[in-house]
Structure 1
Amino acid sequence: MLDAILASTASDSGSHTVTAADFAALPLPESYRAVTVRKDEAEMFAGLTTREKDPRKSLHVDEVPVPELGPGEALVAVMASSVNYNSVWTSIFEPISTFNFLERYGKSSPLAARHDLPYHIIGSDLAGVVLRTGPGVNAWHPGDEVVAHCLSVELESADGHNDTMLDPEQRIWGFETNFGGLAEIALVKSNQLMPKPKHLTWEEAASPGLVNSTAYRQLVSRNGAGMKQGDNVLIWGASGGLGSYATQFALAGGANPICVVSSPQKADICRAMGAEAIIDRNAEGYKFWKDEHNQDPREWKRLGKRIRELTGGEDVDIVFEHPGRETFGASVYVTRKGGTIVTCASTSGYNHEYDNRYLWMSLKRIVGSHFANYREAWEANRLIAKGKIHPTLSKTYRLEETGQAAYDVHRNLHQGKVGVLALAPQEGLGVRDHELREKHIDAINRFRNV
């Protein structure tokens, strides 16, 4: 299988040397290697604080059987994947064990029962090659080079047909479903597939999917903040997995990002992306909480003053929120009258507290945003493919090192995104459009060079 993929992608011209029929004729293995958490270890971190929980102890590389292929699905040979924060949540069994998701999904249909297993194959990104397609799949064929977004929907309810994220059966693949992308083979619904950007390596192409699509919906889409030219956008963690794409979208869309970072190195990354307004929250000593129960409004005001110094006296139109509890009170306060706080996560805690006077009396909006629908994911991937937005890959690990990769993300020791090689034997493979790559090579390598 790997030999066929490498032979197919070896041509600089981009022409296939192995046909779709050749791929369809390849025998599937009976089993494959995958990164898993185990159901019988779900209580292994009981009594520990979040920070004390170590993904290196809970993530395993196991040999697992190839799942049955159902209608509308595809099996993909995974060349590379990446670690997202949902992989960290799964690995530390917070806020609940993901086996709860798998059990609930398994009860929904006989086909979904495949997902309810004593192990959970994690991972919500991939770049690879289609191996097999199930009945009813016409748009994709064996041998197609693809990336996958992580939205899994059934669309049997009317609720999801204006926006598939509103489907009552909406799930995040590899987090709320099994057979995820941190593995040598993955099972996806065919409507998760998108064309692999031809100028990127496997590991580069695998890294944007979840965070790029999430940032697109959250910031650009009408379902999120609906950013426009000239907007001032406060971006927490502006050099991180989500924030680095939000920063790029703001710059590409004519907005003014105000990038909040936690070190001079991360500030340098934001400057390299083209941002000028930068706040190093550690260097400037912001402490939004006096203690566990009380916030410090004086710090909100100090942040607001600093923002106005950077914007020529203007408050922010949009706050790109994802830290959650630690920053949310400040985010509500500093947003301009009529502005928008859009949130997609709570990495520092789910129980947000803010002073509602600054929300209702100033007509501000809080918008919840979760991943992206297929159209938004496709548009976000299209911008990657055109070289308008670039991957933020900083480091790549082997499949056996996924525990360490998740640990680094958990402890915020990383920049941008970290990739994981699955079937790809080394970095640097899979490029088809060398001319486009050369045009953007500095931007592609921006996070590696820090």
Structure 2
Amino acid sequence: MQQIRDAILAGDTSGEEFAALEVPESYRAVTVHKDEVGLFEGLDSKDKDPRKTLHLDDVPVPELGPGEALVAVMASAINYNTVWTSIFEPVSTFGFLERYGRLSPLSKRHDLPYHIVGSDLAGVVLRTGPGVHLWHPGDEVVAHCLSVELESPDGHNDTMLDPEQRIWGFETNFGGLAEIALVKSNQLMPKPAHLTWEEAASPGLVNSTAYRQLVSRNGAGMKQGDNVLIWGASGGLGGFATQYALNGGATPVCVVSNDEKADICRAMGAELIINRSEKAYKFWKNEHEQDPAEWRRFGKDIRELTGGEDVDIVFEHPGRETFGASVYAARKGGTIVTCASTSGFMHQYDNRYLWMNLKRIIGSHFANYRESWEANRLIAKGMIHPTLSQSYPLEETGQAALDVHRNAHQGKVGVLCLAPEEGLGVRDPELRAKHESAINRFRGV
């Protein structure tokens, strides 16, 4: 691995030289173990500690199949799916790997007693399998996390509808929190040249998810002039949704939990901000009953900010805690677009506000290759910026996941894999200089 790291850090190693480098038999990777699935039984989610189940192991390099690539990973990032994997909620991911393993002799590689996690990466292509023509050893890349087989006709208008659609590093093995990752070649995209390795790795999953959910015709189809309510507007998903709203001529109404997060939203250019901790909304009277009076208070607060207008779009991802209020808050004919459900998957809302007011609920899940490419292109052009707040070394991935689990973070939390330190990998310093303050907006908060 040291030879590979040195070749990348040199910055001028040719593709032929990368192709000649020996790929090691094993590499370090962050894993969860199948024999620990019951470790947290009986504990509440908040008491489950990812540090106990995320291990740094030496694992064999997987066989490279057709249409695939091995990538030397310089940096990765934490997403909530890694938290879910580490605490075995809502289900153990080993069920995903077992089902994938039954699909074909090649997919059998993924059904192992350990799961290498991580759905983001920035790095360098080491090897490509048969049938790969666009990518070559030495290419600096990022990867999006959509893994599809595309043998069914269902996915050929929108690859997210492929029956064998999976999220790499969550529903597949050999993810990005490692020194080497195995990806399909149609997951690869060019690394934005003005960003460091850790900055380039951090947008992947959440940036593409926010793009499809808010901008794409497959999601809310946001247009100029729309009022967009964004929950967690300075977080991993919300930080990109806020940027897309501003960049696309819409008006974000940013919901945050403290003054520091409000300041981040203002730094991005947002003006309409609701601090839910100050407002002390209690959308639920108890575990079983919501409080419509609190929905109405919330809607009134929104209209006071917008000059009397309800929101056209609600960017939903907390789920159970907020969904009833979201359905209420959308204007007549408005759209609630939802993913993730980090506060709970079982949503409840008053259907009268949906049906009688002609509102729509749209489910949105990650993004197809085209949407991911467009989202990455906007990053590369300096029109949308990373939301990285801090990075951990690979050895401290458990702590990084715990930060995300406890919401003790801002934006995205990065992980250095082969990169020995932060700040490396910038190839276009001139473009970077134009956007330095925006790139570092989430740092140190």
Q: Determine the structure 1 residue equivalent to 2:367.
A: 372
Shift of 1:60: 0.4
Q: Determine the structure 2 residue equivalent to 1:320.
A: 315
Post-superposition Cα deviations, 1:309-331, rounded to whole Å, max 9, x if no partner, equal 00000000000000000000000
Q: Determine the structure 1 residue equivalent to 2:379.
A: 384
1:190 is matched with which residue: 180, 185, 190?
185
Q: Residues 50-449 of structure 1 correspond to what in structure 2 (within 5 A)?
A: 50-449=45-444
Shift of 1:21: 1.3
Which amino acid in 1 is paired with 2:225?
G
Shift of 1:344: 1.0
TM-score using structure 1 length: 0.98
How far apart, in 2, do the equivalents of 1:200 and 1:150 lie?
20
- Name the SS of the counterpart of 1:283 in structure 2: helix
Q: Determine the structure 2 residue equivalent to 1:22.
A: 17
Post-superposition Cα deviations, 1:17-76, rounded to whole Å, max 9, x if no partner, equal 221111111111110000000000001000111111110111000000000000000000
Post-superposition Cα deviations, 1:87-120, rounded to whole Å, max 9, x if no partner, equal 0000000000000000000000000000000000
Shift of 1:449: 4.0
Post-superposition Cα deviations, 1:203-228, rounded to whole Å, max 9, x if no partner, equal 00000000000000000000000000
Does the Cα contact within 8 Å between 2:119 and 2:175 map onto a contact in 1?
A: yes
Shift of 1:423: 0.3
- Name the SS of the counterpart of 1:282 in structure 2: helix
Which amino acid in 1 is paired with 2:143?
A
- Name the SS of the counterpart of 1:32 in structure 2: strand
Percent identity for Structure 1 against Structure 2: 81
Q: Determine the structure 2 residue equivalent to 1:14.
A: none
Which amino acid in 2 is paired with 1:286?
Y
Which amino acid in 2 is paired with 1:245?
F
Does the Cα contact within 8 Å between 2:5 and 2:419 map onto a contact in 1?
A: no
Post-superposition Cα deviations, 1:262-283, rounded to whole Å, max 9, x if no partner, equal 0000000000000000000011
How far apart, in 2, do the equivalents of 1:18 and 1:373 lie?
32
How far apart, in 2, do the equivalents of 1:427 and 1:265 lie?
24
How far apart, in 1, do the equivalents of 2:3 and 2:207 lie?
31
Which amino acid in 2 is paired with 1:419?
G
Shift of 1:5: 5.0
Does the Cα contact within 8 Å between 1:4 and 1:18 map onto a contact in 2?
A: no
Post-superposition Cα deviations, 1:353-399, rounded to whole Å, max 9, x if no partner, equal 00000000000000000000000000000000000000000000000
Post-superposition Cα deviations, 1:281-340, rounded to whole Å, max 9, x if no partner, equal 011111100110110101000000000000000000000000000000000001000000
Which amino acid in 1 is paired with 2:78?
V
Shift of 1:2: 4.5
Which amino acid in 2 is paired with 1:73?
E
Gap regions ≥5 residues in structure 2: none
Q: Determine the structure 2 residue equivalent to 1:33.
A: 28
How far apart, in 2, do the equivalents of 1:8 and 1:396 lie?
20
How far apart, in 2, do the equivalents of 1:283 and 1:60 lie?
39
- Name the SS of the counterpart of 1:440 in structure 2: helix
How far apart, in 1, do the equivalents of 2:199 and 2:328 lie?
37
Shift of 1:261: 0.2
How far apart, in 1, do the equivalents of 2:9 and 2:331 lie?
50
How far apart, in 1, do the equivalents of 2:13 and 2:399 lie?
36
Count of residues in Structure 1 that have an aligned counterpart in Structure 2 = 445
How far apart, in 2, do the equivalents of 1:19 and 1:408 lie?
39
How far apart, in 1, do the equivalents of 2:83 and 2:221 lie?
29
Which amino acid in 2 is paired with 1:199?
H
How far apart, in 1, do the equivalents of 2:444 and 2:171 lie?
34
How far apart, in 2, do the equivalents of 1:125 and 1:250 lie?
24
Alpha-carbon spacing, 1:213–1:174, altered in 2? closer, same or farther (3 Å)? same
- Name the SS of the counterpart of 1:129 in structure 2: strand
Does the Cα contact within 8 Å between 1:393 and 1:418 map onto a contact in 2?
A: yes
* RMSD, aligned CA: 0.9
How far apart, in 1, do the equivalents of 2:67 and 2:202 lie?
25
Which amino acid in 2 is paired with 1:35?
V
Does the Cα contact within 8 Å between 1:207 and 1:418 map onto a contact in 2?
A: yes
How far apart, in 2, do the equivalents of 1:51 and 1:18 lie?
46
